[in-house]
Amino acid sequence: MTGVARESVTVPRLGLMKKEHRKIAVMTAYDASFAQAMDAAGMDALLVGDSLGNVVQGRKTTLPVTLEDMVYHTGCVARASTHALVVADMPFLAFQGTAPQALTHAGALMRAGAQMVKVEGAGVLVDNVAYLSARGIPVCGHIGLTPQFVHSLGGMRVQGRGDEGRRLLTDAQALVAAGVSLLVLEAIPAPLAAEITATVAVPTIGIGAGPACDGQVLVMHDALGLGGRRPRFVRDFLAGRGSIQAAFAAYVEAVREGSFPNGEESYPE
């Protein structure tokens, strides 16, 4: 899509895409060069993920990532993104404090160039979502496998099977009622993701959540075949293609036409 004129993606436009059944293509970005390439490929949103702790800093978890890290990388991505919406993760403990503290931390990311912040979890954190949303900060929720809760979850495992699925559905509804504009569903059974997507009014973005979500997101390094053992929901979009730019374009096309993820790249009930 290089050279093709298109409108910048906004928060309301994402909501319209859900209503019009147009799939949303999202990928993580951490610097200006890759952000520019993703933007040119037609990506709808760029997620400045705290996954940078793993893929950029070489850490075992996302927990050591600081707010200062996120502000820096958000600024790098935002300066290079012309059309795609920039979403920034609120790192570990940046959102779990008081509502005014969460507002201050979210404000730092917005000043760096984010147009939305992403928060992990629900429950007692829902009140902070409402506090931010009421003050003009668009919020993306994230439920299912939430890496910031890796120790309490007992590892990076599929969530939402059995009775736990009802809790995740309740969490999704609570987050939407509190004002989230977007909802990431990670590593949950495809039938549960389909039910949540059909139930909530905001777009759902899946990562290991099956094809029924309103959009998909992958960690850039996974989508390019980098790293070691890959989860089942990851596809190497660089394989058989001559450039990273072509890989990004292929990912966008696969998400748009609904061919990614397929059944083998999804988790059963």
Strand partners, 183: 141, 204
Is residue 143 assigned to a domain? yes
Distance of CA 239 to the CA centre of its chain: 23
Is residue 6 assigned to a domain? no
* Range(s) of the domain holding residue 102: 11-265
Is residue 130 assigned to a domain? yes
The pLDDT, as a whole number, for residue 228 is: 77
Catalytic residues: 186
Is residue 186 assigned to a domain? yes
Contact indicator for 28, 51 with CB cutoff of 8 Å: yes
Is residue 3 assigned to a domain? no
Three-class HEC string of 22-90: CCEEEEECCCHHHHHHHHHCCCCEEEECCCHHHHCCCCCCCCCCCHHHHHHHHHHHHHHCCCCEEEEEC
Is residue 1 assigned to a domain? no
Per-residue pLDDT reduced to its tens digit, 74-113:
999 999 999 999 999 999 999 999 999 999 999 999 999 9
CATH code of 232's domain: 3.20.20.60
pTM here is: 0.96
Question: Which of these, 94, 44, 86, 45, lies nearest to 69 by C-alpha position?
Answer: 94
Number of domains the chain contains: 1
Q: What are phi and psi of 218, to 5 degrees?
A: -130, 150
**pLDDT tens, the chain, 269 aa long:** 444 467 899 999 999 999 999 999 999 999 999 999 999 999 999 999 999 999 999 999 999 999 999 999 999 999 999 999 999 999 999 999 999 999 999 999 999 999 999 999 999 999 999 999 999 999 999 999 999 999 999 999 999 999 999 999 999 999 999 999 999 999 999 999 999 999 999 999 999 999 999 999 999 999 999 977 889 999 999 999 999 999 999 999 999 999 999 999 999 98
Is residue 101 assigned to a domain? yes
Is residue 4 assigned to a domain? no
